[in-house]
Structure 1
Amino acid sequence: MHNTGKPNPPQRVLDVVVIGEALTDVITTPNGTTEHPGGSPGNVAYGLARLGVSTGLLTSIGADRRGHALETHLAGAGVTLLPGSRPLERTSTATATIAHDGSASYAFDITWDIEPQDYALTPPKILHTGSIASFLSPGAGKIKTLLQQLRTECTTTYDPNIRPALLGTHTEARHTFEELVHLTNVVKLSDEDAQWLYPGKDPEETATHLLNLGAELVIITRGSSGSLLATPSAALSIPAVKCSVVDTIGAGDSYMSALILGLLTHGTNSPAPSALNQLGRMAAAAAAITVSRAGAKPPTGNELRTQLETQSQPHSPVGHPLSMP
């Protein structure tokens, strides 16, 4: 790729626009330091492009070595880096320092701001956002404005990917989260996110609360215990796909990418239980592929199709309905 240092505008209307941070994960151990592309929204965009979805990313990186590395990584999968994605002098980092005893300490050097373009004339089919970008000013306010502007123009999806150390007080974070839930159609969060936001509530109670706030579909992932998919009229528990786990890096982001692909494929209007089952199975399959190999390596479209064909055998488990409170 010829890198001019400036992102090129998309040449076509994109199926999905992702808005959120792409940063460099710095891992320091007694054996040395390594760097990897990171940031939940950046990972979701990368995963979508790997699945064959035309995807643009509006992010906030610098015109530095790390920014160029991120751009090369994203372009390698086919992600379009959207105009306004290079406002920084220095690309953000998240550093994990691993001690000899295995304990870890974390440090963040993150600046989040964006220069959004006008999507009103060419809205994507789906707009996805989340993570640090939806909480950290000044960029978070611009995301909220975009969601308000495009609320009736496209389907919006949101994954808060809670990082408590960066969110201020619990009350402030929950208020910000719920304001965005009101502006989005689909909300996905992990059971850890749900427990942090709503201590004392079980997943079904949390899903009901978010549906009452205006979400049309709520997904709560539960690791090896599977996931819950709930609408105002139905709820399904989808089992996790049995596999050998190498590491869980990027599993939630792969789940989100495949879920968005499923929404594009099956539609977003009040999915019936059969469609919920298909959405959940597709997303669970993507997560299983990712955790079965080292690093955040989401599946390609062919890999996901193969996995789903394997799961469709008669002995494979399927989702089952739940009673919502």
Structure 2
Amino acid sequence: MILCVGESLIDMVPEGGSFRPLVGGSVYNTAVALGRLGQKTGYLWPVSRDPFGDQILRPLAEAGVDTSLCPRTDRLTTLALVTLADGEARYSFYDEGSAGRMLQWQDIPPLPDSVTALFAGGISLVPDPCGTTVETLIARHHERLPVMIDPNIRPLFITDPGAYRARLARLLPMADIVKLSADDLEWLYPDLAPEDAACCVLDSGPRIVLQTGGAAGAKAIWSGETVTAPAVQTTVSDTIGAGDTFNAGVLASLDQQGVLFKQGIARITPDQILKALTMGAKAASVTVSRPGANPPWSHEMPA
């Protein structure tokens, strides 16, 4: 089971001059997408007992995602106010004292043996105590379990850039796979070209760095020659959840290919990486073709 650890929230998405509440969150979207793609998936994050909590749990249940590790709490659900500019999503977060933000180590039960890989990232890595809690979880399990991290950096959410850079400097070397967008790379290394920045991340310890660039497609920077997969052409409604769905496609492909374990990633081949990038791109193309973070089911995947 691939365990996704990180934020769930409500995206307040513009619609007809008002806002429509849609379930979202970077890691949450990846968990739902993995479940819809037919992978054995678990989700770990506090879920509020407020009305939004039930709204958050429903798509997970429909996708067959195991939520037995999710603590329930009376704290409120995080809200993200979404604005769109030419289809690109920008976010303002209402998170102070929220259910997820207050996650502490003692809230996390022991991981069952059924967990075979960890995925983490998003804004859950930024504030404390939840950021420290996720970091501790990865530190305690990364030697045994393969880890994928997508920081999905939101600069407006980061109140202490120095502290967050220090956390990423500790976290990324513990990951086997790191996914970074062009915007992420620019924030991390503002003086470097994106591929040079990705190489710097690779040099810190991960085995594979995935560099995504929307319509430019995706690259895998690793110990071998760079592997590139083009974006799948589609009519874009908006980009909400695109990168999250890409992550799910990559993880699903690696799992289906039988390489989503420590030694499997260590011996991965260019063809296996290309298959993973291609599945990620296909999955993301469906998500961007319709409003909000609405990942594809397996039967909706492009051929």
The alignment's TM-score, normalised by the length of structure 2, stands at 0.89
Structure 2 equivalent of residue 323 of structure 1: none
- 1:302 counterpart letter in structure 2: H
2:268 is aligned with what amino acid?
P
- Pick one of 182, 204, 215 that aligns with 2:173: 182
Q: 1:97 to 1:219 in 2, by over 3 A?
A: closer
Using the alignment, how far apart are the partners of 2:83 and 2:215 within structure 1?
27
CA displacement at 1:195 relative to structure 2? 0.8
Q: Does 1:242 align with 2:233?
A: yes
**1:278 aligns with one of 275, 300, 303:** 275
Contact 2:8 2:25 in 1 (8 A): yes
SS at match of 2:245: helix
What residue is the counterpart of 2:42 in the other structure? 56
Of stretches 232-241 and 78-87 in structure 1, the one that deviates more from structure 2 is: 78-87
Query: CA-to-partner distance for each residue in 1:62-104, whole Å, 9 max, x for gaps?
Result: 10100111111221111121334323421111123689xx998
Q: TM-score normalised to the size of structure 1? A: 0.83
**Structure 1: segments with no counterpart, 5+ residues:** 1-14, 310-325
The 5 Å alignment of 1:1-325 reads 15-27=1-13, 31-96=17-82, 106-110=92-96, 111=98, 112-114=101-103, 115-119=107-111, 122=113, 124-266=115-257, 267=259, 268-304=265-301, 307=302, 309=303
Matched to 2:73, the amino acid is P
Matched residue SS, 2:174 = coil
* CA RMSD, Structure 1 to Structure 2 (Å): 2.2
**Structure 2: distance between partners of 1:106 and 1:129:** 21
Rate the CA distance shift 1:58–1:269 in 2: closer, same or farther, 3 A.
same
Q: CA deviation at 1:105?
A: 7.6
Amino acid at match of 2:181: S
Q: What are the Cα deviations for residues 192-235 of structure 1, in whole angstroms up to 9, with x where unaligned?
A: 11111111212221221111110011001000011111112231
Q: Aligned partners of 2:205, 2:114: CA distance in 1, in Å?
A: 22
* Deviation, structure 1 residue 123: 5.3
Structure 2 residue ranges without an equivalent (≥5): 260-264
The structure with higher relative contact order (CA 8 Å, sep 6+) is 2
Confirm or deny: 8 A CA contact 2:4 2:27 kept in the other structure.
Answer: yes
CA drift at 1:56: 1.0
Partners of 1:56 and 1:225 in 2: CA distance: 31
Contact 2:47 2:70 in 1 (8 A): no
Select the structure of larger CA radius of gyration: 1
State the SS of the aligned residue for 2:73. Answer: coil
Q: Partners of 2:13 and 2:241 in 1: how far apart?
A: 15
Match of 1:10? none
Does the residue aligned with 2:266 lie in a helix, a strand or coil?
coil
Inter-partner Cα distance in structure 1 for 2:229 and 2:291: 24
Identity within the alignment, %: 30
CA contact (8 A) 1:29 1:97 kept: no
- Count residues with an aligned counterpart: 289
- AA partner of residue 141 (structure 2): L
Consecutive aligned runs of 4 or more in structure 1 exceeding 6 Å deviation: 102-105
